[in-house]
A = this chain, B = another copy of it.
Amino acid sequence: MGDGLDDLNISISETLDPQDWQAHRKLAHQMVDDMFDYIQSVRQREVWKPIPDESLINLTQPLPEEPIGADVAYQEFKENILPYPMGNIHPRFWGWYMGNGTITGALADFLASIMNPNLGGGNHIANYVERQVINWLIQMVGFPTNASGLLVSGGSMANFVGIAVARNAKAGFDVRSQGMQASPAHLTLYGSTETHSCLQKAVELLGLGNQSYRRIPVNKDYQIDIQILKDTIRADREAGFTPFCIIGNAGTVNTGAIDDLPALAELSKGEDLWFHVDGAIGALVALAPKNRSLISGIQFSDSLAMDLHKWLHVPFEAGAALIRSELDHRNTFSLTPAYLAHSERGLAGGSLWFSDYGLQLSRGFRALKVWFMLKEHGSVKFGRLIDQNINQANYLADRIQQTPKLELLAPVVLNIVCFRYNPGGLSDSSLNDLNQELLTRLHESGLAAPSYTTLNNQYCIRAAIANYRTLISDLDLLIREVVRTGDELNASQLIKK
């Protein structure tokens, strides 16, 4: 034996398991009680508040070399971290587009991390749970039962997977082996100007080039203009380009617009193009009895991106990519080196090797929280909650239209409401400054957290209501505070007229 082995008897007892199991268990129970208290009282707190300097300074300390123990670490967490969340657990958070998470989802994350399996592959139960969850998603949106799927981190990765499969399936040459530099013709793809920026990111990373990605103008409802799309495809073909993919939106990020999905499906089929749908926002509307017809046509897509940490309220991260053709999906990602060879029997057996269907080899057990929440509540309830949020958005839009100093800036189809304070007599430029300051003050007040966007050079306050804690009275408060803060700013000298 070498020198290093002499001290084995000393070092052997070291472990990351608790030294004192009973004390650690007690700490865990304390955490449960604290977190229940935290969520039960969320409405009593600010949506958001600035982080004090002391906490920020604590988070600049160098690598801790010596242990402080779990109890002290938890105290630091409670003092410096827990009080300053993003706010999307709060009833009056409507920023960007997020879900609330749930207590059950958080507990399921705990259970998943205790089991700590790797869902890259192998014959163990977690892979079967993921397969079941994927089958449920397939069932929700009406995909064929033999479709393929993968749970991923979220919409960005789900869209990346879809476009990657589209590229490889439609390029007409072996992209995996030869690379895009071998492309005999310039491949082009199409989406509306309202398509989410993560599609541009996917296009760029996949080596397709942003120049190949045609942004098609939208109509007044922010839907892709089908005639311009057709004309652009034809012109591209005539100019020697090779169109290969159309991207449709089921719920755009700015306004919640839904493209004419049946028309896009038909056009894709006629032109032999891949039809990808970004359903990160809207695909789950398939569950909502009063609104599901809005996304009709989604079931004809070749690939579909979904987000489960949005309207299903699964804690971050949880998205899904569904691919109609299992073969196309597998052909894009599958790689089996010797150290991952699949066996007939034993732990390395089984038919579920999800690493053959995406970028990740090591994959966590995110499926469990989805499984748990759908079991707990049933899918029908999630559908009612989605209808409830759409109702609330319509209520908010009605209130805006009934309020003289407020202006609705886009049609409300789903749950996204874009508006601004506009008392009249101010230029767009002044209104932009005013509304931006108004929103910042709203955040700083801790009363409500919508976000923002810009439509036709007009700065909008934007409320995306994917929130099961929101009550109608919360929306009344938003209206009141926007008008009050707007009046205050308009009366001040802060905004140039």
Whether, in the assembled complex, A118 has its beta carbon less than 8 Å from a beta carbon of chain B, the answer is: yes
A316 to chain B, nearest CB (A): 4
Could you say which residues of chain B place their CB within 8 Å of the CB of A182? Answer: 209
- Secondary structure of the A side of the interface? helix
Could you say which residues of chain B place their CB within 8 Å of the CB of A232? Answer: none
Known: A17-B469, A69-B376, A208-B207. A4 touches B178 (CB 8 A): no
Known: A107-B110, A157-B360, A378-B68. A86 touches B18 (CB 8 A): no
Q: Are B106 and A381 closer than 8 Å at their CB atoms?
A: no
Whether, in the assembled complex, A104 has its beta carbon less than 8 Å from a beta carbon of chain B, the answer is: yes
Q: How many residues on A have C-beta within 8 angstroms of the other chain's C-beta atoms?
A: 197
Which residue of B has the minimal Cβ distance to A319? B362
**A111 to B192 CA separation, bound complex (whole angstroms):** 39
A420 to chain B, nearest CB (A): 14
Whether, in the assembled complex, A364 has its beta carbon less than 8 Å from a beta carbon of chain B, the answer is: yes
A15 to chain B, nearest CB (A): 5
Closest 6 CB pairs of A and B: A207-B207, A179-B209, A101-B116, A346-B443, A180-B180, A106-B113
Whether, in the assembled complex, A50 has its beta carbon less than 8 Å from a beta carbon of chain B, the answer is: yes
**A186 to B177 CA separation, bound complex (whole angstroms):** 13
Q: Are A116 and B100 closer than 8 Å at their CB atoms?
A: yes
Could you say which residues of chain B place their CB within 8 Å of the CB of A443? Answer: 345-348
A322 to chain B, nearest CB (A): 14
Name the interface residues of A31-83: CB closer than 8 Å to any CB of B.
31-33, 35-36, 38-40, 48, 50-51, 55-56, 59-70, 72-74, 76-77, 80-83
Selected A-B contacts with CB under 8 Å, 13 pairs:
A4-B290, A5-B395, A28-B36, A48-B346, A48-B347, A67-B381, A95-B348, A98-B118, A110-B113, A176-B204, A181-B187, A317-B364, A346-B440
